Amino acid sequence: MNIVMAASECAPFFKTGGLADVIASLPKALASKKHNLTVILPKYRSMPSEIQKQLQFEGSFDVWVKWRKQYCGLFSYKQDKVKYYFIDNEYYFNRAHLYDEPDDAERFVFFSHAFFETLQTLQLIPDIIHCHDWQTGLIPLYTKARVYQHPVKTVFTIHNLKYQGVFPLSIFHELLHLDPVHMGGLELDGMINFMKGALIHADWITTVSPSYAQEILDPYYGEGLENYLTNRISSITGIVNGIDEDIYNPQSDLNVSVPYSRNYAGKKENKRVMQQELDLNISKDVPMFVLISRLVEEKGLPLLTHILDELLSTETIQIIIMGTGEACFEEAFHSISNRYPDSCRFINVFHEGLAHRLYAASDFFLMPSRFEPCGLGQLIALRYESIPIVRETGGLKDTIKPYNEFNGEGNGFSFTNYNAYDFLNTIRYAIHLYYQPTHWNRLLKNVYKSKLNWEHSASCYEDLYNMLLQVNEEENYDHDRRQSKSVTEREAHLIIR
């Protein structure tokens, strides 16, 4: 198949979250199955200079954004059998931030228009166009509106329904180049909603875990779009993400102080190095907890701030929190780390290499999310043999099975209710089993066996694409038959006359 993906970020080029990791690894996994994979992305300022030097200039063309004619440069890069094309326009993408700019509507309308111009310029005819999150939400609509003339099936993946691309209604006439008949497919509560446009017009919708696919049908998780999702229930699939086990590999990761694999002594040595690096008490036997996250409410941080004082004052543990975000959480974690200098550290930045070392050093990984479409942190933790403690929601529920000390099954710890003391009691239970060698070793063996890579998930996407193409063939056959019948009837009518 010729598969073209449209996305707004991709590691190692630029990254703000898990979407970049998915776009880095899913195309690679599909390409390994002998498909032709193309990924089209904006060209942001933050692309590493060593990659920029390797880009190939493919040419330039004009892109219309209503009455504005804008320059578009096209650059290419190939890696792991995947061809990447970058849409270049410094006015739109030479910014300090990837998103949250005042003109995001115009920026990603330009990207959507440039996406189709790129297909035309390259004479690239995809079987499948796979779009990711609101920044690409117009592409399925434009496809249905015949902006792109070739028959193609569109798949739209929801990575996080909370972020929808909501803009003033005026942009419809200012920017979109669409007949007013399409207004209803985008309008929601008096605003233009890119996500709604994708949910209505994509041939198929996927989410990044089966549980999240069910949750978003409920108003609590549906973010105002649950009715539109319920209408599409027969064409929604949840496919859990994987991770690239070549990148996340404690045995070969150059960030890790002491390489290891299925060797808890190696992890303990990494813990000692981290304790020394952060000026914590040196003890290989004290359980170390790590939280690496954007510091926002949806990640369950109110639960953690509520229990941290009690946890640190009653248990002999060490906890390291890494991330940036909302000021209320940054202030709370600064304050707590100052009160417990021997056992708590708050690292108020995100550093990829240090994050890898924290995964390698920790015994437990905390992820008490209020909602979590899939989550990659728990999968990376498993890869680095750090035991996840999660709330049972979305992809966390699908990937982490609570340890059962009676039958020895499970690869982590979990709690159901969004409740601080359920979280605290789960942590205390985990600490208890940490000191029980029989259970701890059994739990580690289960972690070692966890399936984390993209092999199964890529096969699920492959099956989905094939199903859509089979439907397309049947639709074309029916269309041709109707056309043939129509011609026959006209001929018969002429004979009768």
Q: Residue 472 pLDDT > 90, yes or no?
A: no
Q: From residue 475, how far is each of 151, 233, 481 by CA, in Å?
A: 11, 21, 10
370 and 280, same domain (yes or no): yes
Domain identity same for 180 and 146: yes
Task: Find out whether 205 and 394 touch, Cβ atoms under 8 Å.
Answer: no
Helix intervals (H) in 14-103: 18-31, 49-52, 90-93
Residue 129, phi then psi, degrees to nearest 5: -110, 120
Answer yes or no: do 195 and 330 share one domain.
Answer: no
Measured distance CA(319)–CA(467) in Å, rounded: 47
| Residue 252, domain member (yes or no) | no
Q: How many residues does the chain have?
A: 497
**313 and 229, same structural domain?**
no
Distances (CA, A) of 172 to 22, 47, 149, 178, 184: 31, 31, 22, 8, 11
Residue 21 falls inside a structural domain? yes
Whether 327 and 419 map to the same domain: the answer is yes
Q: What is the CATH number of the domain that holds 113?
A: 3.40.50.2000
**pTM confidence score:** 0.91
Look-up: residue for tokens 């105002």? 224
- Quick check: is 250 in a domain? no
Residue 490 has pLDDT above 60, yes or no: no
Answer yes or no: are the C-beta atoms of 216 and 237 closer than 8 Å.
no
Question: Is 493 a member of any domain?
Answer: no
Question: Structurally, how many domains does the chain consist of?
Answer: 2
Closest by CA position to 295, among listed 336, 262, 329: 329
**Which phi and psi (to 5°) does residue 69 adopt?**
-100, 115
Assess whether 177 and 311 both reside in one domain: no
Closest listed residue to residue 144, CA positions, set 192, 104, 181: 181
Confidence of residue 147 (pLDDT cuts 50, 70, 90): confident
Q: What is the pLDDT of residue 408?
A: 94
Q: Is residue 316 part of a domain?
A: yes
d(CA 324, CA 301) in angstroms, rounded, equals 12
CB 74 within 8 A of CB 88: yes
Q: Which domain holds residue 55?
A: 2-242+466-477
Q: Do residue 23 and residue 108 come from a single domain?
A: yes
Q: Does 57 share its domain with 128?
A: yes
Asked if 276 and 222 sit in the same domain, the reply is: no
**Tokens 């996080």 sit on residue:** 160
pLDDT number for residue 476: 58
Secondary structure letter of residue 15 according to DSSP: -
Work out the average pLDDT over 159-181.
95
Beta-bridge partners for 2: 36
**Hey, is 204 helix, strand or coil?**
strand
Task: Give a yes or no: residue 145 inside a domain.
Answer: yes
* pLDDT over 70 at 388, yes or no: yes
What pLDDT score does 473 carry?
Answer: 64
* pLDDT per position as a tens digit, 194-239: 999 999 999 999 999 999 999 999 999 999 999 999 999 999 999 9
pLDDT in tens, 315-369: 999 999 999 999 999 999 999 999 999 999 999 999 999 999 999 999 999 999 9
Q: Residues of the chain with pLDDT > 90: what percent?
A: 90
174 falls within a domain? yes
105 occurs within a structural domain: yes
Cβ pair 259, 252 in contact under 8 A? yes
Joined tokens for residue 405? 């000390």
